[in-house]
Amino acid sequence: MDTLSNNSQKNFALVGAAGYIAPRHMKAIKETNNHLSVAYDTNDSVGIIDSISPESEFFTDFERFYEHAWRLKRNDTTKLDYVSVCSPNHMHAPHIAAGLRLGCDVICEKPLVPTSEDLDELKIVEQETGKKVYNILQLRHHPAILELRDKVSNVVKPEKHEVELTYITSRGKWYLESWKGDPRKSFGVATNIGVHFFDMLHFIFGKLQKNVLHYSDELKASGYLEYEKARVKWLLSIDASDLPDDIKGKQPTYRTINCDGDELEFSGGFTDLHTVSYQEILAGRGYGIEDARHCVETVEAIRSQQAQNAQPEEAHPMLKQLLKG
């Protein structure tokens, strides 16, 4: 794995250090030979730092974290270069803006922000500060997804591809008690767990042309998306009972794309994708605000819709099961 040389080591801050995804960011910072200078979270369940970056400063008050970051700016060797944001979804926009105003480039988890209006505001802050926002769109680096994209690009097909996307990731009772179960903070299942997959579909099949919601509740959602090159029936769920019978009890997650009858199961291969994403960002090849706009607009449109009856040719095979409840 390529790493940066010591003389180009960057100083990082991590906002949202106690979150589920934060350890992947800590690992990526370490594996790209950079320095996690300071971390912040309102919760103090951050023992993982001991095994990755025990010397990092840590704060549970944002005001103390922000003051510390300003003091670091006084010295060229300690000033922060990047702020990584892993906080709850509804806090992404203010935390990104704060990072930019510290004079840092910002790397943020999905979803970048909940609305296109937030994207427009962050573009203004980028212009005011001269710094950049980067979104972790790690599926664009997954080997199986890159292979499918190449296959689609190289095939001349007069009709659109017929695609079924299914993503089921088991979550326990804690999920609905956490911020993830609060639609004011997570913006619902389609946004919280679906935004990466909607980005992936755009990455493979081009511009979105039609967006219809068929079902949505606090645990699952389903609908139909039509792109330049594909008609997509999609289903997302955090309910373990939706897992296929042949994998129940064996693995908690099931990710699959069926394209024209060929199934691509890509539940594996995610371990190092954050590190790859960091490598690309540090090399100047990161994905910015405009790269993320289409998937933000997609989930924003899904949230604004009322579910409607599906046309038979647009219904995901598992939709009937959801409707039976």
Domains of the chain: 6-135 (3.40.50.720), 139-270+277-324 (3.30.360.10)
Model pLDDT for residues 205-214, shown as the tens digit of each residue: 999 999 999 9
**Can you tell me which residue has the tokens 């693995």?**
251
Model pLDDT for residues 256-294, shown as the tens digit of each residue: 999 999 998 777 767 689 999 999 999 999 999 999 999
Q: Could you tell me the pTM of the whole model?
A: 0.93
Pairing of strands 11-15, 82-85: parallel
Pair 102, 80: CB distance under 8 Å: yes
Distance CA 162, CA 257 (A): 10
Strand residue runs (E) in the chain:
11-15, 35-40, 57-59, 82-85, 105-108, 133-135, 161-169, 208-216, 220-227, 230-237, 253-259, 262-265
Instruction: Check pLDDT > 80 for residue 146.
Output: yes
The dihedrals phi and psi of 170, each to the nearest 5 degrees, come to -65, 130
pLDDT at 7: 53
Distance CA 172, CA 170 (A): 7
Model pLDDT for residues 160-197, shown as the tens digit of each residue: 999 999 999 999 999 999 999 999 999 999 999 999 99
Buried b (16+ CB within 10 A) or exposed e, 123-137: eebbeebebbbbbbb
Residues for the chain: how many in total?
325
**Burial of 279 per CB tally in 10 Å (0-12, 13-18, 19+):** buried
Short-list 214, 212, 196, 161, CA closest to 294: 196
Pair 315, 142: CB distance under 8 Å: no
Instruction: Check pLDDT > 70 for residue 2.
Output: no
**Can you tell me which residue has the tokens 């025990």?**
54
Model pLDDT for residues 6-55, shown as the tens digit of each residue: 458 999 999 999 988 999 999 999 999 999 999 999 998 877 888 888 89
Pair 16, 88: CB distance under 8 Å: yes
